[in-house]
Structure 1
C-alpha cells in the first residue's frame, strides 16, 4: 500500500511540476521582493522539537568552532517587520553563494525545496571558498545523503501580499545512478489590507545529479521564477492624515469601476548552474562551476507628456499647497477622483488629444545577462591544514530601456524629449534617437532611452585553514580586476555622437580582500575568535555615470569602496544553553551615489553625484538558546550599536541638458547623521512549547529602537541649507535628521503535527502583530525637492515632506503541509 501511494505521489509530482513549467510561459513576469514568506514565517512546514544535548565529551573541539549565526536565526522572524540593515550595512555587503555562484534572494525558496542546506555566516565569517564580505552571507550546499521524507505537498493561506499558495517537491532515483529533485512554489491573490497590492507568481526548478565510480560528481540546477506584483508606494504624512488610513496607497485607481495599479513589477530571471567535481590526486580535488542568469525585469509607471502629473499625492494637489476648502473636503471624504489615480479621466484626455497620448503607462525594462565561471581547488595537506585556491571570471551585462505598455486609448506618441518642448534654449534639440527622428511609438515599442552597462570581473583567491585540537587559524587573500563601461544604443540630440551613443570610456578597478581569523577552544564548550578584514570593491555600475539613461559622462572622482572591519566572538555550547556574543566594528570609505532629480533652486533637471561617503558601525550582538525543560525552549537575542556617517561627502550637481555645473565640490553636512533603516537597538525573544501529542506553541516579541529616516546629502549642502535655511528653524529643517518611533510587535503561532508510519502532517497558524498596531512606520526617506513659500516680496524655502510607509496591522498565515 505504501509503495502504491508513493508511486501515485511521484506521478502527481511530475504532473504538478510540468504544470508549473507550463505556467511559466503564460504568467506575466515580475521582480520578486526579498520579503517572501520564508522570511514571513520560515518554520511553518518543518515544526519539530530540538532534542536536548547531554554529551560532555572532550574529544570534539571543532564542533564549538562552527560559525552558526544565532543572532540572525533568532531575529529574522521575531524582530518587527521594519527596515532592518543589520549592523548598518547595505545589502550589497552580503554575499550569498552556491558552489561559488552568487545568488539573489528570489532563488532561496526553491533551493530549500530541492533539499539544499544553508549555512548562514554572520559578519566577517564565510563558508569554504566563499569570498568574505563585511555583511556576511549564506552558503548553500546540497548534501550527499537522502532525506527520510523526500516528498512535500503544502498549501497556505494568508492576508498579506497574496491569499493562496502551494508548494510541491520531491526526490527520485533514476536509472543509471542519476538523482532528480524537482519542486514548485505558486502564489496568487491580492493583499487584504493594502488596496492595489497583489501577487501572481510561480517558481519552479529541478536538480539533476550523479556521482560516478571514480568519485566524479556532476549536477545541473535550473530555477525559473516568474512573477507579477502590484506594489505599494510611500507617501507624505499629510496624505495619511487626510485619508485616515496608515495603509493608503497612491499607486492605484479605478478604471471602469475596477482597481488598477500603475506600479507593477514583472520578472522572469531563470538561473542555471552546472557543477563538476573531480579528484585530481589523493589529496586534491577540483570543483568547477558555471552559472548563468538571463531574463528581464519590468517596472511600470505612468508617464505624462506636456501635462500635469497624474499622481494624486503630488504636493501640488494636497490642501497644504492648494489652500482651498474644496480640496480638503474631497480628501477628507476619500473621494477617489482626488485620492487615487483617475484612469478614466486619463483615457478621456487622451481621446481628446487627437491621437497623440498625453498620458501612458510605461515599462522600465532591465534585460540581464550574468555569467560566472568559478574554479576551486581543494588540497588536504594533512588532517590539520587545508588549502583552497582558484579563480573566478564574471560577466554582468544589463541592458536598460523603456517600453510602451499601454497608450490608454491614444494611438501613439512621438519619441522626443517631452520635458524640453517649452524650453526656449533647448526646445529644438528634442530627439531621443537622432538616427531615427520623430519615430512614432505604439504599444510594445522601445523608446526614450536604450543603453547597456557592462561589468567584467576576474579574480584569483587563496585560502588556508589550519585546525589543531584547540586552535583555528584562517587566512584569505584575493586580488582581482574589474572594468565598467556604458554603451549607448540611442544618439541623444542633446548629447550627439559619442557623448551618448556608442561606448563610454572604460573605468578600471582592482578589488582585493584580506581576511585573517584566529580562534581558540578553551574547552569543548567554550570558544573565542578574532577576525580582521580589509577589502576594496568595485562600485555599482549605475553609480559611475551622471546620467546613464542618455549620457556617457562618468563621475570624475570614481574610486573603489574600501572597508575595514574587526569582529571578536565568544561562543558557548552546552546541554541546555547555547550562547553567542559578538563585538564588531566596520569602517567604510569612498562610497558613492548618483541620482536624477528636479532642482527647485535652479529650475532645471539635474544629475547629482555624491562621492567620498564614509560610514562607521560598531556594536555588540547577543543571542542565547535556553532549553528550559524537555518540552520548553526560550530564545533571546539583542543588539546595540552606533551606525553613522563619519565624513562630509562631496556633492556635484550638473544640468541634465548640457552638463554645465550647477554646484561643484560642495560639502554635505552628513557627518554625525545616523544610517537610515538601521535600528541601533534591537531585542527579540521567543518562548516555545512542544506538547506530547504533536501540539506546539510559539510566542515571540520583538523591539527595534533608535531608528532614523534615510538622510539625503543634497539638502545639507551650503547651496540648500545655507541659502535656503536663512532662519535657525529653516536651517534645522534642512540639516536635522528625523527619528522614527520605536517599533514593538508581538506574534504567536499554534501548530499540530500528526505522525504516521512513514509520513507526517503539520497544520500551523501564525498571527503577526497581535497588538494590531499600524501606527509604526516601516521606514521613511527625505525628499530631494525644495518647496518655495512666498510672503510678500520675500521667498522662503523648506524641504519637501518626508515620505513614509507603515506596518500592516494584525495578519495571519495558515499552512497545511504533508511530508512523506
Structure 2
C-alpha cells in the first residue's frame, strides 16, 4: 500500500509539472489594490480569462510559441506583453499594474439614425452597428438596450459624430452622416477601434465632433489573429448571416495578411415585401520594413434591400403596424418599388513609421468610388399609384362627402364601408397593382405612363491623412495632423424599368402653358430609354482641408489635453441639365467657401485611486453639408441666402467612481448650436380663397439660423453583488429644444423667377422639443456570469418624453393669416389662443417599458473555441411604441389643419417598433 501511494504521488507530480501554465495578478497602480473582472487575452489563440477577487488569472495547457498577452479594463490603460513559451512549466508573471485613465477608455459611439438601425444590424445582436468594444456601462446600455428604440445619446444625430478609417473621414459630403452600410458585415475587421471617444472627450487622431470620434485601423497586426467562422439567425432586416475571417498577424518574414467575407440575406424580412441581399469582403496586406509598416486595405459591401414606409394611423389601423405600401404582386411574386442598391468600395494605402521610441508618423492615401441607387415609381399624365396617396385612402372619400355635409347618406355609407372592407382584405387596394401599371402603358402603346426610376449618387472621393505623435518629454505629448478629402459627386435620375412601354418622356407633368416643361432644354430628344438620364443631372465638387494639433500633459494627479483645429471647405454645383423654369440651372455656380476653427479643453483630476473629476469644453464651427447649401440642387445653382457655418459650444462635467466592486459615472452636459440649417421636402397647400381652394406646391422647406439646446444628466452604476452576479442602473435625463425662432424659406420651381426661393418669415419654434429620441431613458439590469463560461442577463428599460417632428410651416404668420393679411375668422374670437394651441400642440408619444434578455455560452474544444449567444429585445412583444414620426407638410393653413376630416387625410405619419426581435449567433475560432 505504501508503494502504491508513492507511485500515485510520483505520477501526479509528473502530470502537474507537465502542465504549461501562465499566471499573474493584476493590481491598480494608484493604490496597488487587486483589479477584479479585468479581461486577460492571448491574442494569438483568442483565449480569454477574467481576473478573480484578488486579481489573479491563469491560462492552462499552452502550446510552445510566442504569445501576446493583453490585459484590458474599462477606464484603464491597456497592458500588453510578449511571452515566449518554450517548455512545459509554469510562467509566473507576478504583479502587473494597470493605470486608471478614462481618456484611454474603450468608449463606443452610438449615434445612428433610424434608417441605419433598420438597415445594418450588427453581429452581437445589438441594434447599433457602430458599437465599439466598450466596457462603459452607459454606452453599452445606450447601444444594446436602448438603441433598438431609437435612443440617441444627448439627443445628437449621426452627423454629429466623426468616423475615421485609417484616418480618412467616412462622413458623406451630401448630408454629413456616416453610411455604415459601406462596411456592413465586416464586424471582425471593424470591431475594435484604435481610438474611441464619446462626446467631446479628448482625442489624438482628429478634432472630433459633438457626438465623439471613432478611429479604426485595418492593419493585420492590429486585428485578432487566427480564423473565425460564425453563423447568425435573426428576425430583423435580414434573416441569416454567414461570416468567415482569417488573419495571420505579422509573421516572422514581416508579412501579414487578413481576409474576411460575409453574406447576409433574407427572401423577406420581418416587414412584408422587403428583401435583403448583402455581401462584404476585406483584404488587408501588411509588410514590415525595419521600423516602417506598409498596409494595403481593400474593402467593399455591396447590398440590395427593399424599403418600407411610415404610415398614418388610418393605414396602421386598417393593416397593422407591419404594413408596407411599397410592394405588390407581379405574376404571383412580391415586387417592391423602393429598392436600395449600394456598392462603394474603398482602397487605402497606409504607411506607419516608428521614427524612434518617441515619434510615430501615420499617413494614409485613400480612394472611394461606386454608386448608391434608390428606385421609385414615376408617372407622367397619370394618377399616383401609391395605395397611401391621400386620394386613394378611405378617409379621402369620407372627407369629400362630409366637408360640406353633416352626414353621409345610406348609399354613401355603404360605399365607404365597402372601401374600408376592400382596403383591409383586398391587396389590389392596399398594395401596388403592377398589372394595372403594365396595362396602362400597353394601352398607350408609346410613352410610359408609369416607370421605375433610380435616384443615383456616384461619389469619387480622394483622401489624404497624416498624423504625427511626438513624446516631447516625460509628461507631454504632441499630436499634430492634416487631412484633406476631395469629393466629386455625380447625382442624377435614370430610367430603370419602362414596365412594358417604349420610352419615358423627359417632361414635367406639372408645368403650365407658359413653360416648355423640358427638364433639359439643351436636349431635343425627349424620349429616354432604360439606363438613360432623366429629370435632373448635376455634379457637386467638394473640397475639405483640415489641420489639427493637440497637446497632452500628464503629471501627478492631473491630465490636461488642449486641442485646436483650422479647416477650409469649398463647394460648387455644376448643372448638366438646363431646366425649363430655372435660368441658373445649367453650368457652374459660384464657389461657396467656409473657414472653420475650433478649440477643445479636457481636464482629468485624480482625487485618489477611486475618485476622479473630469471637465470637457469645446467650441468650434462647422461648414454646412452640400444638400443644406443647395436646397434645390436637383434643378438649380441657387444656394441658401445668408448661409453660414454652424457654431457649436459644449460643456460637460463628470464625477467617476472606480473600485474593484463598484463603477459609477455622473455627468452633467450642456450643448448649444447656432446657425444650423434644417431642410425638408414635400407638398404644401397654400390658401388662396379658403382652405379648400388652394395651390399645391412641391417645396424645399429650409430653416436658416436654427439654434438648438441640449442639456441633461447621465448616470450609470455597476456593482458586483457576488463573484458571479452583477447589477446595473443607468439613466439619461435630458431636455432637447429649439432655442430660437429662425427664418423660413420656400425653395420651389414656382419661385424660379425670384431666384428659386421666397422668404416666408419667422417660424415660431422656440421651446418646441427636438424629435428623434426619447429625452429620458432608464435602465435596471442583472447579469449572471458562471465560472463555467456561460452567462444570462435581463434588463428593464423605460422611455419617456419622445416627440413628433413638427412642421415649421404651421408655426408662421402665413399659417394663421389669409392672403389679405387678416386672421382667420375663428382666430379673431376670444378663445383664439386655445384653438391655436390645440392645432399646434406637439404630439408627445406614450411612455413605454421594454424587457431585454441576453444569454450565451463558450466552449473549448481542444485548440478550438466555440460560442453561442442569444439576445432578445422587447421580450414582452410591446408593439405600441412609436419610435419616430413627423407632421405632414401639406397642412399649410389654419382652416385646413382645424378641419377634423381634412387633418385626418393628412394626419401625422409614424414608424412603430415591430415587437419582439432576436439575434442568435454561433461562432467557431481556431
Task: Check whether the contact 1:80–1:743 (CA below 8 A) recurs between aligned residues.
Answer: no
| 1:65 positional shift | 4.8
CA distance in 2 between counterparts of 1:373 and 1:738 reads 46
Q: Say how many residue pairs are matched.
A: 765
Range 765-774 or range 77-86, more displaced? 77-86
2:362 is equivalent to residue 272 of structure 1: no
User: How far apart are 1:340 and its partner, in Å?
Assistant: 0.9
Deviation at 1:694, TM superposition (A): 3.4
Give the Cα–Cα distance (whole angstroms) in 2 for the partners of residues 262 and 733 of structure 1. 37
Q: 1:689 aligns with which of 784, 808, 828?
A: 784
Q: Could you tell me which of 72, 93, 101 is aligned with 1:63?
A: 101
Give the drift of 1:549. 0.6
Residue 763 (structure 1) aligns with: 868
Q: In the alignment, what sits opposite 2:215?
A: 139
The superposition leaves residues 221-266 of structure 1 with CA deviations (integer Å, 9 ceiling, x where unpaired) of 11111000111110111111122x1111111111122111111111
Tell me if structure 2 keeps the 8 A contact 1:283–1:381: yes
Alpha-carbon separation, structure 1, partners of 2:817 and 2:531: 47
Q: In structure 1, how many angstroms separate the alpha carbons of the residues matched to 2:632 and 2:199?
A: 34
Cα deviation, residue 657, structure 1: 3.7
Q: Which of 381, 391, 399 is the equivalent residue of 2:482?
A: 391
TM-score normalized with structure 1 length: 0.88
Q: Residue 544 of structure 1: which of 607, 629, 645 is its match?
A: 629
Structure 1 residues 797 and 107: CA distance shift in structure 2, 3 A: closer
Over the aligned positions, Cα root-mean-square deviation in angstroms equals 2.6
Paired with 1:533 and 1:308, the residues of 2 have a C-alpha distance of 53
More deviation in 675-684 or 779-788?
779-788
Deviations 1:576-630 (A, max 9, x none): 1121221111000101123443331143333432101110000111122323222
Cα–Cα, structure 1 residues 331 and 636, in superposed 2: closer, same or farther, change >3 Å?
A: farther
User: Contact between 2:741 and 2:765, CA under 8 Å: does it hold in 1?
Assistant: yes
Mapping of residues 51-450 of structure 1, within 5 Å: 51-52=51-52, 54=54, 62-69=100-107, 70=136, 71-79=138-146, 81-103=148-170, 104=178, 105-107=180-182, 112-114=187-189, 117-118=192-193, 119-141=195-217, 150-172=226-248, 176-213=253-290, 215-243=291-319, 245-280=320-355, 283-323=358-398, 324-326=415-417, 328-331=419-422, 333-420=424-511, 423-426=512-515, 429-450=516-537
Q: Secondary structure at the match of 1:558?
A: coil
**Matched residue of 1:273: which SS?**
strand
Distance 1:760 1:753, change over 3 A: same
Greater displacement, 713-722 / 344-353: 713-722
TM-score, with normalisation over the residues of structure 2? 0.79
1:774–1:807 contact (8 Å) kept in structure 2: yes
Q: 1:533 to 1:86 in 2, by over 3 A?
A: same
Secondary structure in 1 matching 2:577: coil
CA distance in 2, matches of 1:115, 1:539: 28
- 1:670 matched to 2:765? The reply is yes
The match for 1:502 is: 587
For residues 313-363 of structure 1, the C-alpha deviation after alignment (integer angstroms, 9 at most, x for no partner) is: 112122221124155333453211111111111111111112211111111
Q: Per-residue deviation at 1:61?
A: 5.0
Based on CA coordinates, which of the two structures has the bigger radius of gyration? 2
* Deviation at residue 819 of structure 1 after TM alignment: 1.0
Tell me the secondary structure at the aligned position of residue 345 of structure 1. helix
Q: How many Å apart are 1:370 and its aligned residue?
A: 1.9
Q: 1:216 to 1:741 in 2, by over 3 A?
A: same
Change (3 A) 1:149 1:477: closer
> Are 2:744 and 1:651 aligned?
yes
> Does the 8 Å CA contact 1:79/1:745 hold for their aligned counterparts?
no
Give the direction of change, closer, same or farther, for the CA distance of 1:51–1:807 in structure 2 (3 Å limit): farther
Contact 1:494 1:658 in 2 (8 A): no
Displacement of 1:58 in angstroms is: 12
Contact preservation (8 Å) 1:52, 1:576: no
Residue 879 of structure 2: aligned partner: 774
Stretch deviating more after TM superposition (185-194 or 445-454) = 185-194
Aligned CA distance change for structure 1 residues 457 and 603 (closer, same or farther; 3 Å): same
Moved beyond 6 Å, runs of 4+: 46-49, 56-59, 787-791, 794-797
The superposition leaves residues 15-44 of structure 1 with CA deviations (integer Å, 9 ceiling, x where unpaired) of: xxxxxxxxxxxxxxxxxxxxxxxxxxxxxx
Cα distance between partner residues in 1 of 2:185 and 2:365: 19
Which residue, out of 529, 534, 542, partners 2:619?
534
| Distance in 1 (alpha carbons) for counterparts of 2:615 and 2:644 | 29
Seen in structure 2, the aligned counterparts of structure 1 residues 206 and 144 have a Cα distance that, compared at 3 Å, is closer
Equivalent residue, structure 2, for 1:710: 805
In structure 2, the CA distance between the partners of 1:570 and 1:786, relative to structure 1 (3 Å rule), is same
Structure 1: runs of 5+ lacking an equivalent: 1-45
Is 1:63–1:524's contact at 8 Å kept on the other side of the alignment?
A: no
Match of 1:731? 836
Summarize the Cα distance change of 1:132–1:292 in structure 2 as closer, same or farther, 3 Å threshold. Answer: same
Greater RCO (CA < 8 Å, at least 6 residues apart): 1
Hey, what does 1:619 align to over in structure 2?
712
In structure 2, relative to structure 1, the CA distance for the partners of 1:97 and 1:715 (3 Å cut) is same
Q: CA deviation at 1:731?
A: 2.7
- Out of 260-269 and 809-818, give the one that drifted further: 809-818
Instruction: Give the Cα separation in 2 of the matches to 1:146 and 1:738.
Output: 48
Unpaired runs of at least 5, structure 2: 1-45, 56-75, 77-94, 108-135, 171-177, 399-414, 687-694
- Which secondary structure does the structure 2 equivalent of 1:629 belong to? coil
Q: Does 2:915 align with 1:809?
A: yes
Contact map agreement 1:47 1:762 (CA 8 A) in 2: no
8 Å CA contact 2:145–2:873 kept in 1: the answer is no
SS of the equivalent of 1:349 reads helix
Q: Per the alignment, do residues 493 and 652 of structure 1 end up closer, same or farther by CA in structure 2, a change over 3 Å counting?
A: same
Following the alignment from structure 1 to structure 2, what is the Cα–Cα distance between the partners of residues 806 and 410?
38
Alpha-carbon distance in 1 for matches of 2:751, 2:802: 40
Q: Measure, in 2, the Cα distance between the counterparts of 1:534 and 1:523.
A: 30
What is the deviation of 1:766? 2.7
